[in-house]
Amino acid sequence: MKMMNNGYNSSFNSNSVGLMSNTGATTASSSSSTSTTNANSQSQGLKTYFKTPEGRYKLHYEKTHPPGFLPFSHGKSVSQVTLAQLKDKPAQAGPAPSSSSSASASSGVRYAAAKFLGVGGGNGVRAIGFAGGNGTGKAVNGTSRSGSLVGSNGSHSILNPNYDGKGTYLIFNVGDTIFIGDLNSPDKDPIKSLHFSNSNPICHAFDPEAKDGHDLLIGLNSGDVYSVSLRQQLQDVGKKLVGAQHYNKEGSVNNSRCTSIAWIPKSDGAFVVAHADGNLYVYEKSKDASVDTSFPVIKDQTQFSVAHARSSKSNPIARWHICQGSINNVAFSTDGVYLATVGRDGYLRVFDYLKDQLISGGKSYYGALLCCTWSGDGKYILTGGEDDLVTVWSMEDRKVVAWGEGHNSWVSGVAFDSYWSSPTSDDTEENVVYRFGSVGQDTQLLLWDLSMDEIVVPLRRCPPGGSPTFSTGSQSAHWDSITPLGTLQPAPCMRDVPKLSPVVAHRVHTEPLSGLLFTQESILTACREGHVKIWMRPSSETQSSNSEALVGSSSLAGSRVGSSTLK
């Protein structure tokens, strides 16, 4: 197969010399200015802001892997980004404070980091420079290198003395490495890297409410799954996972690629892992990771089936066979009741997770679906895929209610902006406006406003031979338009679905995009090659209190440096 691995090796060597001086990061300001200049030279023709009806979003920080990093030892993989917020409590202590539990109920990815922004931006920087030097440079000392990958129980001798135990972190995978960056630091380089020697990490998830410290999940190309404590990784200076639980070792339960991983909300440490062969496994981190469960052979590959483990002690506790071909993405509704999956076969499937039951779903216009997400109120699901469309699925109607047209290539990431509020602010029950975003392989970020009362649903043509109002069956007429529970809808026709146009379309990277997150202060975009950009919301929009005022001013300083080098 000489064709497949044609060299990806040359492109990252070029400015490794520049990197060395950069990694030193003696002061935060100098480091920020150099990284900004690098960014400008790399991404020519890209604007550092974009305009929306509510104001300008400005490029605030960029995060990426160290320039000298050669990410392709096991071939290429697509970068995904996860946001993780660590609270004040040290790792070994009990449950995390539930100060903002209602906000954090949304999946860890979208967690608001508002409260702690100031802290990381201020003190964190110098400490981070130190850790970054270790993580990216060559000087890994012997002790940490010999630390075993699995279950070393934190027996490492060197702790990072400057690590202050709280902050908001960006976790992203590039090639065989997971990088962790500080969201609120201007430093472009990550503060920590975790190297995987056997297989590439593909997906990850963070649980801000994890009780026993294991809050970070990592799924690998080999099918292996780890759960670790993020705090513990940050405290350690090595490049290996410490204190990890290892599930599906060497793919003993399923050796196909992990494609998507998610904590189950309000489940006390249960999570699901989706695989490229159409199976999804349920694990509980409290259960023994070393005993693998065996499941019966799947009789009909085309049928959905759930098998529960016979033993209550072992992991995984259940296998869901969902579809033929890969599951590409999964997402839980914020209450943890519903699970949405999308896959190679082009179907969105919505399950009642607690009842092991398929309740609805439908096909893309054509081609595979690549991503999905829930609205905060659980009423809508967004999907994106190979038909270049963003699809809005209504839970109530059990069908597609709108298609967003605007991408020039596949849609790889979708997210609702739960922090956005309509400027008209008469959000009555009937007139709710949702803001959502999408990113695509066309390198564009698109923002959309979805106002349900403005969507005109094309009239359904009456089926031949009968008036819909007088159906002879026992079912009442208003159910006629809704498909029965548990059935999948075929692909709609182009002219039957209302279309949306984006509010904003902006080319944010030079590479195809892979991820999108909203925080209270910013929009995060990630590209496949592992570059992350943080776009600050319009300043008028920031509900700044005392603590955020600090961040605001420092961010201003940062962007001033950036713009002066531009002009």
Residues that bind another protein (CB under 8 A): 1, 3-4, 6-11, 276, 325-326, 346, 363, 365-368, 386-388, 407-410, 441-443, 488, 490-491, 493-494, 510-512, 528-529
Please report, as a single letter, which amino acid is at residue 108.
G
Choose between 484 and 490: whose C-beta lies nearer to another protein.
Answer: 490
48: tokens are 């550092």
CB of 211 to another protein, least distance (A): 38
CB of 335 to another protein, least distance (A): 30
Choose between 6 and 546: whose C-beta lies nearer to another protein.
Answer: 6
Choose between 61 and 410: whose C-beta lies nearer to another protein.
Answer: 410
End-to-end CA distance of the chain: 48
Choose between 323 and 395: whose C-beta lies nearer to another protein.
Answer: 323
Whether residue 380 contacts residue 371, with contact meaning beta carbons closer than 8 Å, is answered with: no
Q: Which residue has the tokens 């075929």?
A: 490
DSSP label of 464:
T
Choose between 124 and 385: whose C-beta lies nearer to another protein.
Answer: 385
Whether residue 217 contacts residue 195, with contact meaning beta carbons closer than 8 Å, is answered with: no
Distance between CA atoms of residues 237 and 253, nearest Å: 32
- From residue 154, alpha-carbon distances to 216, 227, 238, 243 in Å are 16, 14, 11, 6
Dmax (CA) for the chain in angstroms is: 80
Distance between CA atoms of residues 540 and 55, nearest Å: 8
Choose between 3 and 297: whose C-beta lies nearer to another protein.
Answer: 3
Choose between 210 and 508: whose C-beta lies nearer to another protein.
Answer: 508
Distance between CA atoms of residues 260 and 241, nearest Å: 20
Under 8 Å CB-to-CB from 444, ≥6 apart: which residues?
Answer: 406, 407, 408, 505, 506, 507, 508, 513
Distance between CA atoms of residues 232 and 153, nearest Å: 10
Distance between CA atoms of residues 156 and 423, nearest Å: 52
- From residue 345, alpha-carbon distances to 270, 278, 325 in Å are 27, 10, 7
Strands (DSSP E) along 422-512, which ranges?
433-440, 444-451, 499-500, 504-507
423 preceded by cis ω (within 30°)? no
CA dihedral 65, 69, 75, 76 (to 10 degrees): 30
208 preceded by cis ω (within 30°)? no
Choose between 43 and 333: whose C-beta lies nearer to another protein.
Answer: 43
Choose between 124 and 346: whose C-beta lies nearer to another protein.
Answer: 346
399: tokens are 């069908």
- DSSP for 109-127 reads GG---GGGHHHHHHTHHHH
Choose between 282 and 348: whose C-beta lies nearer to another protein.
Answer: 348
CB of 460 to another protein, least distance (A): 15
361: tokens are 């779903």
Choose between 77 and 522: whose C-beta lies nearer to another protein.
Answer: 77
CB of 446 to another protein, least distance (A): 14
Task: With H, G, I as helix, E, B as strand and everything else as coil, classify residue 212.
Answer: coil
- DSSP for 529-558 reads TSEEEEEEPPGGG----HHHHHHHHHHHHH
CB of 495 to another protein, least distance (A): 9
CB of 7 to another protein, least distance (A): 5
Whether residue 537 contacts residue 544, with contact meaning beta carbons closer than 8 Å, is answered with: no
CB of 388 to another protein, least distance (A): 5
CB of 103 to another protein, least distance (A): 36
CB of 172 to another protein, least distance (A): 18
Choose between 43 and 542: whose C-beta lies nearer to another protein.
Answer: 43
CB of 115 to another protein, least distance (A): 37
CB of 145 to another protein, least distance (A): 32
When computed from its CA atoms, the radius of gyration of the chain, rounded to whole angstroms, is: 24
Choose between 236 and 386: whose C-beta lies nearer to another protein.
Answer: 386
CB of 251 to another protein, least distance (A): 16
For the chain, what's the residue count? 567
Choose between 3 and 139: whose C-beta lies nearer to another protein.
Answer: 3
CB of 494 to another protein, least distance (A): 5
Apex 423 CA angle, 417 and 427, nearest 5: 80
Residue 169, phi-psi category: left (phi > 0), alpha (psi -120 to 50), beta (remainder)? beta
Distance between CA atoms of residues 515 and 174, nearest Å: 13
CB of 16 to another protein, least distance (A): 17
